[in-house]
C-alpha cells in the first residue's frame, strides 16, 4: 500500500490556505491545518472540503494552535512529521500592522522562526514553504524580481523581510529544504472583506441591491499586480516539488490602479463609481507602497508556472461571486457547516 503524503498548513482558514487545502486533497494528500481558537466559527472557507471527523477517510484534519505559541507548533510538527509544511499563517493586513506592530512582528515575523526551529530541533525531514510577499519590495521601483533589493514600508513588510531571511538562513545554515514564494497580490471571492478588491466587489453587490450608498476608500492611485489566488497556490505546491530549494517571484506581470479596479467593477453592473466612492483619510497608510509589478520569468522558466486569469476576468468573477453571495444571503440559502470543538 502506498502511504499518502501528509502536509501541514498554517493559516488554513485564510484565502490561500483554503485553496491550497483543496488542491492538496485533490492530489491525494492528507492535509492537517492549524486553526486558532475563536469565539465564533472561523473555518467558513473550508466548508467545501470539511467532513465530520467521525466519517471514514477524512483527509482534512484541523488542530488548534497559534503562531505566538511555539509549544503548540513544535508538538504538532514532531507528532505529525509532515512531508511538506506550508506556512501561510500571518497577521496579513498592511494597514492594521501600523496599529498592532508588535503583534504583527510576533506572528508574521517570529512565527516563521518558531516553525523553522521546531523543524530543526525535531530533526523531522520535511519541506518548508514560507509565504513571502511583494510588500517586501515596498519602495523599490518595478518591475520587481528575485534580485530586487527590499525596501519595506510597513511593520507587516518588515516582519515579512525577517521571515524571508530567516528562511534563507535555515536553508544555508542547516541544509533545510526551505523556500520563499514571493507572491504579488492575489485575490478571489474568498479574499478577506477588508482588502481593497473584495471591499469593492462586496460594495458593488450591495449598492446594486440598494443596501449601501457609499463606499469609503483610501489611496485610489496605488498600483498593484493582481492575480487569481487558485493560480498562485499551485505555484506554492510546485516550489516544494523541485529537486533544489529556491526562492521564486509569482506575479502576473501587469499592474493596475485601484481606480481601474473601480472602473471595471462598477461597469460590470452599469454604475458610475464616482457617484458612490469617497476618500476617507483613515484608510491611508503612514507610508504607502505605490507600485508593485512582478517579473515572474524565473517561475515560468523553472516551474513552468503561468497565470491563467488576467485582471478584467478577475474583477468580473469577484463581482459576480459577491452578487450571487448576496442573493443567496437575502434568500436564506446559506447554511454554514457546524463542527465540533
Residues that bind ligand G4F (CB under 6 A): 92, 94-95, 133-135, 184-185, 194-196, 199, 217-219, 222, 224, 258, 283, 285, 288, 292
Which partner, ligand G4F, ligand NAP, none, binds residue 227 by CB below 5 to 8 Å per kind? none
Burial class (CB in 10 A: 0-12, 13-18, 19+), 238: middle
Asked if residue 48 lies in contact with residue 105, where contact means CB atoms within 8 angstroms, the answer is no
Q: Catalytic residue among 156, 164, 201, 255, which?
A: 156
Task: Based on the residue annotation, tell me whether 103 is a catalytic residue of this protein.
Answer: no
Task: Based on the residue annotation, tell me whether 18 is a catalytic residue of this protein.
Answer: no
Nearer to ligand G4F, 234 or 257 (CB): 257
The residues pairing with 250 across neighbouring beta strands, listed in sequence order, are 183
- Could you tell me which residues come within 8 angstroms of residue 254 by beta carbon, excluding any fewer than 6 positions away? 225, 293, 310, 311
Q: Catalytic residue among 133, 154, 201, 255, which?
A: 133
- Displacement of CA 322 from its chain's centroid (Å): 19
Nearer to ligand G4F, 10 or 133 (CB): 133
Which partner, ligand NAP, ligand G4F, none, binds residue 78 by CB below 5 to 8 Å per kind? none
Express the helix, strand and coil content of the chain in percent, nearest 5 each. Answer: 40, 15, 40
Task: Based on the residue annotation, tell me whether 135 is a catalytic residue of this protein.
Answer: yes
Nearer to ligand G4F, 74 or 201 (CB): 201
In whole angstroms, give the CA distance from residue 297 to residue 317.
Answer: 26
Q: Rule CB under 6 A: which residues touch ligand NAP?
A: 10-11, 13-17, 34, 36, 38, 42, 66-68, 88-92, 107, 131, 133, 183, 185-186, 192
Q: Show the cell assigned to 340.
A: 465540533
Asked if residue 181 lies in contact with residue 239, where contact means CB atoms within 8 angstroms, the answer is yes
Which partner, ligand G4F, ligand NAP, none, binds residue 130 by CB below 5 to 8 Å per kind? none
Residues marked active site are found at: 133, 135, 156
Amino acid at each position: 500500500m502506498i502511504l499518502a503524503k501528509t502536509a501541514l498548513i498554517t493559516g488554513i482558514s485564510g484565502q490561500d490556505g483554503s485553496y491550497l487545502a483543496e488542491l492538496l486533497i485533490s492530489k491525494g494528500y492528507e492535509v492537517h491545518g492549524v486553526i486558532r481558537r475563536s469565539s465564533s466559527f472561523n473555518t467558513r472557507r473550508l466548508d467545501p472540503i470539511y467532513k465530520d471527523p467521525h466519517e471514514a477517510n477524512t483527509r482534512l484534519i484541523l488542530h488548534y494552535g497559534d503562531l505566538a505559541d511555539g509549544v503548540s507548533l513544535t508538538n504538532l510538527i514532531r507528532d505529525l512529521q509532515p512531508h511538506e509544511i506550508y506556512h501561510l499563517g500571518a497577521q496579513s493586513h498592511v494597514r492594521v500592522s501600523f496599529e498592532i506592530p508588535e503583534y504583527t512582528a510576533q506572528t508574521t515575523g517570529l512565527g516563521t522562526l518558531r516553525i523553522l526551529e521546531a523543524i530543526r530541533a525535531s530533526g523531522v525531514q520535511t519541506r518548508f514553504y514560507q509565504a513571502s510577499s511583494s510588500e517586501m519590495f515596498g519602495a523599490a521601483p518595478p518591475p520587481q524580481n528575485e534580485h530586487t533589493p527590499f525596501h519595506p514600508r510597513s511593520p507587516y513588510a518588515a516582519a515579512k523581510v525577517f521571515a524571508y531571511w530567516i528562511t534563507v538562513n535555515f536553508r544555508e545554515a542547516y541544509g533545510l529544504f526551505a523556500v520563499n514564494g514571493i507572491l504579488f497580490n492575489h485575490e478571489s471571492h474568498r479574499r478577506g472583506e477588508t482588502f481593497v478588491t473584495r471591499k469593492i466587489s462586496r460594495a458593488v453587490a450591495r449598492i446594486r441591491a440598494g443596501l449601501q450608498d457609499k463606499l469609503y476608500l483610501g489611496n485610489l492611485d496605488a498600483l498593484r499586480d493582481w492575480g487569481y489566488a487558485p493560480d498562485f497556490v499551485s505555484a506554492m505546491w510546485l516550489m516544494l516539488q523541485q529537486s533544489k530549494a529556491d526562492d521564486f517571484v509569482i506575479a502576473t506581470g501587469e499592474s493596475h490602479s485601484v481606480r481601474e479596479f473601480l472602473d471595471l467593477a462598477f461597469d460590470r453592473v452599469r454604475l458610475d463609481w464616482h457617484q458612490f466612492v469617497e476618500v476617507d483619510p483613515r484608510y491611508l497608510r503612514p507610508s504607502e507602497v505605490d507600485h508593485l509589478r512582478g517579473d515572474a520569468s524565473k517561475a515560468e522558466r523553472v516551474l513552468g508556472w503561468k497565470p491563467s486569469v488576467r485582471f478584467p476576468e478577475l474583477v468580473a468573477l469577484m463581482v459576480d461571486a459577491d452578487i450571487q453571495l448576496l442573493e443567496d444571503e437575502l434568500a436564506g440559502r446559506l447554511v454554514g457547516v457546524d463542527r465540533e470543538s
